[in-house]
Amino acid sequence: MLATSTMDAEQRFTLVADLLAEMFELERGALRLESNLYADLDIDSIDAVDLAVRLKQMTGKGLQPEVFKTIRTIGDVVAALGPERST
């Protein structure tokens, strides 16, 4: 299991971007912090839940429902995985 609490934001971005590229067959080089999961990457709500489940399996950390509802960009996911916003 990966300890995201010891990762910096760049390492968490790499983890999230690599996972998005793998799960949804996205071009890794095109993924940016500001990429909108829904508008830019065509990820739907079911895909977002799948991503959250996979991140929890990998890191042992789940996203609080109120945080999950606010996530729109890759940067939001990265921030949510930080030690101050996840459980």
Q: Kindly report, residue by residue over 51-87, the tens digit of the pLDDT.
A: 999 999 998 888 888 888 899 999 999 999 987 544 4
Q: Are 76 and 51 in contact (CB under 8 A)?
A: no
- In this prediction, residue 6 carries a pLDDT of 82
Residue 86 pLDDT: 42
The dihedral formed by the CA atoms of 7, 37, 40 and 79, expressed in degrees to the nearest 10 = -30
Q: In this structure, what is the dihedral angle of CA atoms 7, 19, 68, 72, given to the nearest 10 degrees?
A: 100
pLDDT digits (tens, 9 = 90+) for 2-48: 777 788 899 999 999 999 999 999 999 999 999 999 999 999 989 99
pLDDT at 85: 46
Residue among 29, 19, 37, 30 at smallest CA distance from 74: 37
What pLDDT is stored for residue 87 in this prediction?
43
36: β partners: 73
Residue 20: predicted pLDDT: 97
